[in-house]
Each structure stands twice: as structure tokens, then as C-alpha cells.
Amino acid sequence: MALSRWGTESEARDLGEGVRGLLRDVLGVTAESGLRFDPAAVTASPSRLTDSDLAELAGVVGRGDVSTDDAQRLPRARGKSTPDLLSWRLRPDVVCPDAVVAPRDDDEVAALLDWCGIEGVAIVPFGGGTSVVGGLTPDAGGHRAVLSLDLAHFDSLESIDPESGEAVLGAGLTGPRAEELLAEHGFSLGHFPQSFPYATIGGYAMTRSSGQASAGYGRFDEMVRGLTVVTPVGVVEAGRAPASAAGPDLRQWLLGSEGAFGVCTRVRLRVHPAPDTVRHEAFRFPDFSTGAAALRAVEQQGTGPTVIRLSDETETAVNLATATESIGTESIGTESVGEQADGAGGEPGGCLCLTLFEGTAEHTRSRNAETRDVLLAHGGTPLGAGPAEAWEHGRFGAPVLRDALLDNGALVETLETATDWSNLSALRDAVAQALTTSLEASGTPALVMCHISHVYPTGASLYFTVVAGQRGEDPVEQWMAAKRAASEAIVGAGGTITHHHAVGVDHRSYLEAEIGEVGVRMLRAVKHAVDPHGVCNPGTLIP
Amino acid sequence: MALSRWGTESEARDLGEGVRGLLRDVLGVTAESGLRFDPAAVTASPSRLTDSDLAELAGVVGRGDVSTDDAQRLPRARGKSTPDLLSWRLRPDVVCPDAVVAPRDDDEVAALLDWCGIEGVAIVPFGGGTSVVGGLTPDAGGHRAVLSLDLAHFDSLESIDPESGEAVLGAGLTGPRAEELLAEHGFSLGHFPQSFPYATIGGYAMTRSSGQASAGYGRFDEMVRGLTVVTPVGVVEAGRAPASAAGPDLRQWLLGSEGAFGVCTRVRLRVHPAPDTVRHEAFRFPDFSTGAAALRAVEQQGTGPTVIRLSDETETAVNLATATESIGTESIGTESVGEQADGAGGEPGGCLCLTLFEGTAEHTRSRNAETRDVLLAHGGTPLGAGPAEAWEHGRFGAPVLRDALLDNGALVETLETATDWSNLSALRDAVAQALTTSLEASGTPALVMCHISHVYPTGASLYFTVVAGQRGEDPVEQWMAAKRAASEAIVGAGGTITHHHAVGVDHRSYLEAEIGEVGVRMLRAVKHAVDPHGVCNPGTLIP
């Protein structure tokens, strides 16, 4: 990944003339008005480690790697939120981890944690570097230095149990590599978050990732049958049985712990036979609340889609869901779902709903039929397979689109929350209003789009995409103000501060509102018990 | 419930002559050889509370109740395991809680915990009193007295959200009463453990209960959307959204905590519209491993039964699954499934598999068809609806059957575990062997039956029912030796020490083998953080 982008340099493409015209006319921004990234201006903070430290570290990690090269430290200094990406342009003096250390096994991780405790050096685990919540921030937490602990060597399919449908995967495996290794055995994980091309198994576990097919295969935390976390006081192997009544569920206390309790080195996961059939079907609903009620009925009746999503009117109108693949070749929105629906005899506009079904032929047929019946009974109009196929084809493209929009002077970011069905509309309104008000106050119109990305029997997640114009000297602070407004709206309207992006630095100050003073006390007690010197990712999670 | 029985006195029935003959001929036991319960011999330990304590307690719980009556204390002194039931016969000097206290709201519970911390008095929460793992043991944990904290006043449906499919239920509500209150709104919880007639919502939550319909509706821990636990340091309200990435899942740390962190007073639960269609179908498999492979295929393909169970050859032969309703009228086993299958043209014997489907007509039709296809493809022979209907009709009867067998000199108990599919057969063999060896060493033949009670994509639970003859002066110790052998076999063979009965006193010494030294350290840290004086159920859970 490029420093100031989500994707690689070769993935970067410019926007078509139509979108550039819209950005100019509506948001008043152009490629010239935006912040530019100057690689030559970048400087890394000097490493605070001594030669003696480095010699000791080399001994501690044995066969592993230790580096203080800027080329290693810089990409591990920041994640991939919009503030991160803009900071490469605005703040080229980069606070970096003092070294990058890549141990090769649990014993080396344990030895490294021992050394850190004795020496007063913090660690920040590094997987794919895709955090959008500041989870990589190299905060030494009062210690004299901080290491980036790269899990790259934990990159194997350690074992597979085809009968139980379980595989043990190294924490450093990326999504594509994990799928590749599983495919050799006829299996798939079925976890496809937008960060899939880069994010790692350990990152999914430690941040409670949720994927686009989570309606069918479950959130990542639901797929985890066991995991290994190396803490400063010893190794935890959690998850002995598929289900247990042997006290609190240790797995669910380690999942989402974001490196604050130790380093996740491997995860035992449920895997599925690669599906032999995939069916796609799209629908249009006249408005968001009608569509939301239909998704609710589908999920509460358990009709079984693998993917189900609903874009609101604005997101449907700009055709965001299906248009990311056309960046640079066509302008976004010129082939809108509304127009497609027109061709099929329906009304333009409305809200696009995408469904996808995976499994055996019989399974997908019955699930598709039952789901379609419910959606039609709740006011949906069928649009055929096309829009759902287009979405699937381009589904990892949105962050690359963000890169292009940022390059063209736009301010673009996403945020997400979840709540009960009965509170969904109020939460959506509150967040959209907060974002719009804050951004308008900074002097730009704001396009706030929303979709239901994940459904549960009792509620759903809301995924917001915001496009505005960069304004002022400091667009990072411009966005942070909007983000604060949105976060306060989420807390006030009863949503969770994060449905699948995790806590990191960015949401930490909202955690107590979510879990209460006693909840925070419980977290701190565990942190202190397993990380008595406070060396494990001190900047993240725990208030 | 009667002191020495599971059921009420009026439920008690004797066995038919056929079964009594079998017990006499095979196990060498008769009604005369068994231990008798003598209510007149029962004495309660005197309360250690002073008049001044009781006056203070009356003030602390305000509108609630305080009692030191033996009639209140005795039923809260022991649970309903076979050792508990036999102890009423063998050990009539009963160690009782020093008082029974029934607060009426969270504030009264909090005030009570404050008082306990100051005064050095422990509490044991009491719901339905159905623990089979010693969870009610009135262990003062070194304090000067112990109270039974009865949740009977937390007995209302506090709110219902029909749109989200959620209800807030008081922790003291029994299963039948909760279903009755929900039925007024057209909803059902769908949680039917064998303890259903007596056990409470709070008990289900605090012990990670699993019900007979958990394949369809999920384990109780999966149904919980939120819960309130009053701890000595404050109230925790866990569960803000249907799903969240805001750190470790607090709910999953409170669930299964068995009162060791505080008192659960209410639970917010997913509820379902009462199903409009129920379909039943039974199958026979030639042997257990063929049947287990079929259940595995059903669950891994997600064909969607609400209930699916498989009895092993022995359990099928004695027809335990469907015969409990015939206690006292017919002998068990005379109308075996093998014979029914004969009538349907199949072979006798084999293993009985029961399935049940709930939902809409279309949903149950497709799920039943898809499940049947998989079961037939894996060697099943259809037996029609009859055996599954008979099982459903008598499904809460097994504990009453246990009462009758205990009265006739038999030693009867159940235990359960779970593991991955690939380890299921080895675990079953190890546990059965351990039980048989231990009981034979005590001088009795042992009938060890087993069924798969719950299925998961990656594994299943094993539920063992053991019938032997009471031997020696102390059949409690006779059973405890067999239980220790089984528990060691479970630990050695990689199973969980408990799939749904919980930890309590009985499994506490096996917990560290399951969650490791660091896991125990985490539990103790939380315990100390929220219960600094150690007054919350000190005898349970935490090693």
C-alpha cells in the first residue's frame, strides 16, 4: 500500500470528467485545490532505541527481524483513515515506531514481551495496517520507546480439520492468502470486509471485523472457535469446544481486545466448503424505511441470504454500490439503478437492495425464493441479478475511489454504527444531521449516504459515507469535528460507537458511555492482570 | 419441588412392573434396597445471623422479604443433582443458608450487597433451584454467614419491542411464566431446557443454559441482547447494540458468571413470533457414527432444523427418548423404536434421530425437505412423525423418571460435554469407559446411554445418562467417584467440562485445565475488581 493511499500506486486512477465536474460545481473542489502528497517532505522521527537495545532485541527475537529503517517504520506509523491519509499530505513529520520487530513464533513473541516489560518499551501489533480508527498509533504510553510488532511471519495454514470444518490460521495471513491456502483443501472462510485485500486474520479477530457476507457466514467473532494470545504473563489458548457452559467466554473477552492484552498469533476458525452455487438478485424499494422493514422481515424469519444490503435514496442515486469499478472510465451515476429500473418498467429512484446466496443448488434456490417472497411482500420490485453482480465485482473498490476523491480536493470518509430495528431510523437521522451540520459549518455542502451493511434478528448496522469539500488550512481537523459530532450523535441516539471498525484511539473516549464505569473497571482489571507493565498497545481501546 | 425430588410430590409416580423387574434382575436393586427419605429426620443448620443482623437486613431490603424459617432455608440449601437428591436421604443434617432474602428491585440488591461487604456476609443467588452442579451450595467463603438471595420478585415482563423482536424479562421469571407473558404479545423465547418447568431467566443467563430447540433458536447466551448485573461496585448494563466492535464483549463475560460477579436482575432477549407451523420427523441410523456424520452434514450445510438429536444404540434400545411419559403405566423399552422401524419395513435397533421444524409453512416445508434429503443421503431411514411427536410430548419427563428410579434403588445421573466433530467418537468412548469402569468397580453393572443433544457447525455436545445400582453405605460417594472418572476422561480427551450444566462447585477444579492459568488470572482479576470483599457466591466457578 502507498503511504498516503489505501491501494498501491499502480491501483491509483483518476476520476472521470463527469465526477470531476460534479466535484467542481457542487463542492467547489478540484485536483489543484486539494492537498498534495510530497514524498520528499516526509521525515521519520528518529528511533529512540540505543545500539545496545537493538543488539538485545536481535537476540530476543532470534530468527526474527529487527529494523530501524525509515522504509520499515514509516508504513507502520499510521493507518488508513481519511485523517491518516490526509496527514501524509499535511503533517510530513511522522511520529514512527522506534523499530519494527518481526518475531517468528510464540516463544519469540513471549521473549519480546518479557524484554519490553523489563526495559519499559511498548509494542503495537501490526497485521495489514488497515486500521481506520488509529489502532496503529505508535503511542509509547509513557514508556521510553515503542515497537511495531509485525506478524508477517505468522503466515501459514497451520492445520485443517475437514471433518469439523475448522482451520488454524496464522495471525499474519492476509484475507486473499488465507483464502488461497484454504482453497487448496476445498474450503473458504467467507470473510470479505472491504479491507480484505490487505487486512489479516489476527486483525480481524482483534478488531471484531464484520464482512460483507456476514449475514450468511457470521461476523468474524462468530467464526472464531479458538485463538492464541501471547500476553506478558503467559499464553492463553481460548476455545476448547464449539460451545461451553464453563464460565464466561474467554474468547469473547480476547476478541476485540486490539492488542491491549497481548499479541494474537493464531486463530482457529470455522471454514466452509467452497460454495458450488452463487445466486444474485437485486430489488428496489420506494424508500429506506420500507426497505429496512423488508430486510428486518427477511432476517427475523431466517430466510437465509448470504449477503443482504440496502442503500438509502442518496447512495442509490449516486450508484455508489455498483460504480466503483468504473472509476476513470465512466462518470459515477450515469447508469443509475433508477434508470435500470426504468428499463424494467419500474419507477426511477428509490433504494437499492442487493442479495446474494451461496451454497448448494437446492439450498440457494430455496433461500432465494423465500427471501424474494418476503422482499416482494414488503414492497420490493425485482431488478434481476445485474446490480448485485456489479456490486460483487467492484466490492473492494470503494477505498480506491476514496483515494481518487481525496486527490481531487474532496473530503471523504466512512463511519458506522448499529442499533435495534426500532431505533434505526432515529439513529440514521441523528448521525446524518450531525454530519451535515458540522460540515456545512465548515463551509461545504455535504453528501451523506447510508446503507444497511449487516442485519441481525434484533437490529442492523448503518454504514455512512460522507463526501464534502476540503476546506481551510486543516481538513484533518475539519473532518475530526464532523466525526466528533457524529460520535456524540451516536452515543446520544443509543447506537454503538463502532459496529466493525473497532475502538482504537479514535473511539476510546466514547467507550465508557457504551460499557459503563463497571465495564471499564473490568477491562482495566484484566489489562493490569495480564499486562502489569502496560506495554501492550497502550494507546488503544481502554479509556 | 419436593426436597428430595426433582418434581413435586404429586408428580411422583412409581415404575411399571417391567422396569422394576429389570432393575431387580439386572442391577439387583428394589424399592426396599434403595435409600429412603425421612422428612422427620431433616434438621437445618441454625442461622448464624443475630437479631440485630436481621433487623438491619429488614431495613436494607425495604419492601423485600427476610426469613430464617427452616421451611424457607431448606429448599435453598441444595440443588437437584443426584448427589443432592440422595443427600436428603443420607445426610439429613442440612447446611442451610443463614437467611433467605428477597429484594424487590436493583436498589435493594445493591443495598444488600453493600451491607454484605461491610458485614462480611456472603450471598448465593437463587432462581429456580435447579442447579445440578452444586451452584446453590451455601458456602460462606470464610465470611460469618451466607444469604440465599431469592430473585422471585423480579418476575415481570418489563418491556417488549415487537419491531426489534426483543423483550426485557425479570431474572426471577420461570420458563413457563416467561412464555405465558410473551404469548400475550404473540411471542415466544424458544428456550426449552429440561429444567424448563422450574428454572429462571436469570439462571439460564448465569449458567449459559442450552435448550432442546437450540439448533433453531440458539443457546441462551446467543439469545441475550443485554443484561443487568448488580455488582458490589455498581450496576453493569451490558449490550448496547445487536453487534459491536467496541472492544471485548462484556455480555459474554457476565454470561456464565454464576453469581460470582454480582446478581443478574434482568435480561434483554431476542424473542420470536410464536411459530405457526411445527413439523416432526424421525429417522433411524444403523449406528451412532453414521448418524453423527449425518447430523454433521445437516448442521454444516445449514439445512435449518429447530431440533435435531441422535440417540446412541443403547439409548435407542431402552427407548429413553420417547418413553418418559409412560412411567408407571407401561414398562420402558417394550415398544422400542427398533420395533416401530420393523413395522415400517426397516431393521430393528440402530440409532434414533429426531427432528422438528418451526416457523412459517413455507419455511418449515423447505427446511424439512432439505434436512430429510441430507439425512437420507447419509444412511437414514425415515420413521415418520410419531417418535418425534412422542419425544416432544414427554421431553420434560426424564427428571421425574430419575426420581422414580432413585426410589427403586437405582443410581441415575446425567452429565454432558462437547467437542469437535472429529473428536466426538473418541470423547464418547473415553467417557463411557470411565463411567463403566468406575461403577463396575463399585460392584454394579452400568448402563451408559448417550445422545447428541446439540449440534454446531464444528462440533456437538454429548449427553450421557447413566443407570446403575446403588451400592455400599454411601451411594453419593459411589457416584462422585464415577463423576470424577468421567470428568478426568473429559479433560483428557479434549472435551469441555460442561456444555450446559455450568461449573458450580462440582466442576470448579477442572476449570483451569480448560481455560489455562492466564484465563483463571483474568477471571480472578475481574472478580476482585467488582467484588472486592468476595461476598458474591464464593463457592462457585472461580478456582
Cell of B380: 437414514
Residues on chain B touching A454 (C-beta within 8 angstroms): 243
Say if residues B472 and B79 touch (Cβ distance below 8 Å). no
Q: Which three cell numbers stand for residue A474?
A: 486543516
CB distance A525 to B532 below 8 Å: no
Whether residue A512 has pLDDT greater than 60? yes
On chain B, the residues whose CB falls within 8 A of the CB of A422 are: 161, 163-164
C-alpha cell at A184: 487448496
The answer to whether the Cβ–Cβ distance between A303 and B420 falls below 8 Å is: no
Q: Which amino acid is at A40?
A: A
What pLDDT does residue A325 have? 45
Show the 3-state SS of B440-484.
HHCCCCEEEEEEEEEEECCEEEEEEEEEEECCCCCHHHHHHHHHH
How far A160 CA lies from chain B's nearest CA (Å)?
Answer: 11
Strand intervals (E) in B180-245: 187-188, 224-231, 234-238
Picking from A272, A418, A529, the nearest residue to B242 by CB comes out as A418
Task: From residue A40, give the alpha-carbon distance in Å to each of A43, A69, B341.
Answer: 8, 16, 81
pLDDT band at residue B329 using 50, 70 and 90 as cut-offs: very low
Would you place residue A224 in the very low, low, confident or very high pLDDT band (cuts 50, 70, 90)?
very high
At A395, the pLDDT band (50, 70, 90 cuts) reads confident
What residues of A are in contact with residue B236 (Cβ under 8 Å)? 515-516, 518-519, 522
Residues 228-247 of A with CB under 8 A from B: 231, 233-238, 240-247
Residue pairs spanning A and B at CB distance below 8 A? 305
Average pLDDT, chain A: 93
Q: What's the per-residue H, E or C state across A281-292?
A: EEEEECCHHHHH
Q: Is any Cβ of chain A less than 8 angstroms from the Cβ of B520?
A: no
Instruction: Give contacts of B490 with chain A, Cβ < 8 Å.
Output: none
Confidence of residue A348 (pLDDT cuts 50, 70, 90): low
Sign of CA dihedral A104, A109, A110, A115: positive
Burial A268-288 (b: 16+ CB within 10 A, else e): bbbbbeebeebbbbbbbbbeb
Q: Are B251 and B350 in contact (CB under 8 A)?
A: no
Instruction: Return the pLDDT at A332.
Output: 40
- Whether the pLDDT of residue B322 is over 60: the answer is no
Mean pLDDT, all residues of chain B:
93
For residue A272, the chain B residues in CB contact (below 8 A) are 300
**Residue written as cell 412464555?**
B179
First to last CA, chain A: 31
Residue range A34-52: mean pLDDT, rounded: 96
Question: Are A529 and B514 a contacting pair at CB < 8 A?
Answer: no
Q: Is the pLDDT reported for residue A330 higher than 60? A: no
Q: What are phi and psi of A209, to 5 degrees?
A: -60, 150
User: Hey, what amino acid is at A303?
Assistant: T
Query: Among the listed ranges A195-204, A228-237, A387-396, B120-129, which one has the minimum average pLDDT value?
Result: A387-396
CA distance A412 to A479: 9
Interface test with A, best of B130, B164, B508 (most A CBs within 10 A): B164
Q: Is B427 on the interface with A (CB under 8 A)?
A: no
Helices (H) and strands (E) counted in chain A, each on its own, are 20, 20
pLDDT band at B34 (very low <50, low <70, confident <90, very high): confident
Of B501, B514, B521, the CB nearest to A530: B521
Determine the distance from the C-alpha atom of residue B226 to the mean position of all C-alpha atoms in its chain, rounded to a whole number.
21
Three cell numbers written together for B434: 470411565
Q: Which of A221, A301, A525 sits opposite B526 (nearest CB)?
A: A525
The residue to which cell 470518509 is assigned: A413
Would the pLDDT of B343 be above 50? no
Residues A42 and A88: beta-carbon distance below 8 Å: yes
A248 vs B contacts (CB less than 8 Å): 252-257, 523, 526
A241–B359 CB contact, under 8 Å:
no
Identify the closest residue of chain B to A494 by CA–CA distance: B240
Lowest mean pLDDT among A250-254, A393-397, B310-314, B343-347: B343-347
By CB neighbour count within 10 A (0-12 exposed, 13-18 middle, 19+ buried), where does A345 fall?
A: exposed
Instruction: Note whether B521 contacts A: Cβ–Cβ < 8 A.
Output: yes
Q: How far is B418 from chain A (nearest CA, A)?
A: 6
- Taking only the tens place, the pLDDT of each residue in A75-127 is 999 999 999 999 999 999 999 999 999 999 999 999 999 999 999 999 999 99
Question: What confidence tier does B205 reach under pLDDT thresholds 50, 70, 90?
Answer: very high
- Asked whether the predicted pLDDT for residue B174 surpasses 90, the reply is yes
**Burial of residue B345 (number of CB atoms within 10 Å: 0-12, 13-18, 19+):** exposed
User: What was the pLDDT predicted at B334?
Assistant: 35
Closest chain B C-alpha to A187 CA, distance in angstroms: 12
Kindly state whether A466 is in contact with chain B, defined as any CB-CB distance less than 8 angstroms: no
pLDDT class of B348 with cuts at 50, 70, 90: low
If you ran DSSP here, which 8-state letter would residue B27 be given?
I
Is B256 at the interface with chain A, CB within 8 A?
yes
pLDDT digits (tens, 9 = 90+) for B41-73: 999 999 999 999 999 999 999 887 999 999 999
pLDDT of residue B320: 60
- The pTM (predicted TM-score) of the whole model is 0.95
Instruction: Specify the pLDDT at position A513.
Output: 97
Task: Tell me the C-alpha distance between B245 and B248, whole Å.
Answer: 8
Residue B342 binned pLDDT confidence (cut-offs 50, 70, 90): very low
Dist CA B443 CA B469 (whole Å): 8
In this structure, of A315-319, A387-391, B310-314, the range with the lowest mean pLDDT score is A315-319
Partner A, chain B 373-402, Cβ-Cβ below 8 Å = 373
In this prediction, residue B323 carries a pLDDT of 55
pLDDT tens digit sequence for B89-136: 999 999 999 999 999 999 999 999 999 999 999 999 999 999 999 999
Name the residue among A241, A270, A498 with its Cβ closest to that of B246. A498
What are the beta bridge partners of residue B424? none
Contact B516 A235 (CB under 8 A): yes
Q: B59-68, B118-127, B201-210, B323-332: which has the minimum mean pLDDT?
A: B323-332
A460 contacts in chain B (CB < 8 Å): 242
Q: Do B522 and A526 touch (CB under 8 A)?
A: yes
Distance CA A94, CA A75 (A): 10
At residue B317, φ and ψ (nearest 5 deg) are: -65, -40
Residue A542 has pLDDT above 90, yes or no: yes
Phi-psi region of A28 (alpha: psi -120 to 50; beta: other; left: phi over 0): left
Query: Average pLDDT in the B526-530 region?
Result: 98
Average the pLDDT over B185-201 and give the result.
Answer: 95
Rounded CA-CA distance A19/A171 in Å is 39
